[in-house]
Amino acid sequence: LDSWYEQWTALGQRVVDLADRAAAAGHAQTARLAYLRGSNYLRAGGSMLMGAPVDPRLVESNLRTADAFRKGAALLDTPPEIIEIAYEDTTLPGYFFAIDTSARPTVILVGGYDACAEELYFFNGASALERGYNVLAFDGPGQGAALLQQGLVMRPDWENVIAPVVDYLLQRREVDAERIAVIGLSLGAHLAPRAASGEHRIAACIADCGTFDMYGTFLSRLPEAMRAGYEAGDPETVRGVAAMLDQIAMQPTAGWSMRRGMLVHGATSAHEYIEMTKPYSLRGLAERITCPTFVCNAENDPIGATAPDLVAALTCPHEFVTFTAAEGAGDHCEAGARLLYDARSLGWLDGVFGRR
């Protein structure tokens, strides 16, 4: 893990240095592309350090990622405004990209477990801007700077996170209040539908991998005999599962997602983290979503395996797409074929919002 961090960080800094030289020489396009590329390399370097207690290098990586991104984004044709969204007794950091001063449809981007607002620009923001949508990317509790700089951990009731984001948008003249969409990526594909189930000012929802029940997904991966004992609360089985999870969390690569989950949720053990996922279910909530909803998954992605359960629970107008390996889009969040994902998901959104 140290070598991963060191090599990606060195590469990121080398590219940022290139960007600095290009900017000083007046080569704006070269500088922009290098800053944005360097930002993503710096983010990648810190990503494998996610775990509890938080590694100071991860905190520094987050700051450097944001700094490089902001320098590059300032050189975009549609540069963002760096914003702070009022949230409970603090604020949530983010970026607002406005196409122009007219009231336009706007998308709110919601990331996943290891996401940050800067990364969301690359996954969904740039493509939405190209289609004429305003874009708001932000770090919610458990994400990016909100987690690493403010100590805000994840919470399940994402409708109470999105509500102040919508409040913020409705104060802006650039936003068409009747055409606000939320797009969730990875874990965000659970959080976005959860938000739409309780925040009905959202006019459309896109869930990119459509996770329905996080705790249920964990249980499904246990051997049947162990699962029965664990669900029944058998003390010996629970101790055995907890010990197994601790062993997994200690493995450098295989344990990464477990350590990441502990950090994001504020858990002190791998078992506590798993138990903290119990409220992350859309059972009994999905049917409360009233806005048109687009759900997708990828055929080789186990994280999206419960997307059909989400689709089956929906009573709103909806569309379901499974992306395939034959299309180059068979892995998590269609990372190998985002243009295909954009065409189908944003094309669907264009139709919902009456745009062609």
- Are 170 and 101 spatial neighbours (Cβ–Cβ below 8 Å)? no
Return the pLDDT at 260. 97
Catalytic center residues: 186
pLDDT tens-digit map of 133-170: 999 999 999 999 999 999 999 999 999 999 999 999 99
**110-128 average pLDDT score:** 96
Between these two residues, 226 and 109, which has the higher pLDDT value?
109
- Are 7 and 26 spatial neighbours (Cβ–Cβ below 8 Å)? no
Q: Is the pLDDT of residue 252 over 80?
A: yes
Tokens read off for 217: 């997904």
The domain locations on the chain are: 1-75, 79-213+280-352, 215-276
Q: Is the pLDDT of residue 56 over 90?
A: yes
Return the pLDDT at 355. 76
Poorest-confidence range of 65-69, 79-83, 333-337?
333-337
Going along the chain, which residue ranges are E strands? 81-87, 90-97, 104-110, 134-138, 175-185, 204-208, 293-298, 318-323
Going by C-alpha positions, the residue among 107, 273, 270 that lies closest to residue 203 is: 107
**231-240 average pLDDT score:** 94
Q: Is the pLDDT of residue 356 over 70?
A: no
Q: Are strands 318-323 and 293-298 parallel, antiparallel or unpaired?
A: parallel
- Are 185 and 208 spatial neighbours (Cβ–Cβ below 8 Å)? yes
In CATH, the number for domain 79-213+280-352 is 3.40.50.1820
Three-state DSSP state, 71: helix
Return the pLDDT at 225. 85
Three-state DSSP state, 147: helix
**181-200 average pLDDT score:** 98
Return the pLDDT at 1. 85
Architecture of the structural domain at 1-75? Up-down Bundle (1.20)
pLDDT tens-digit map of 127-136: 999 999 999 9
**45-56 average pLDDT score:** 95
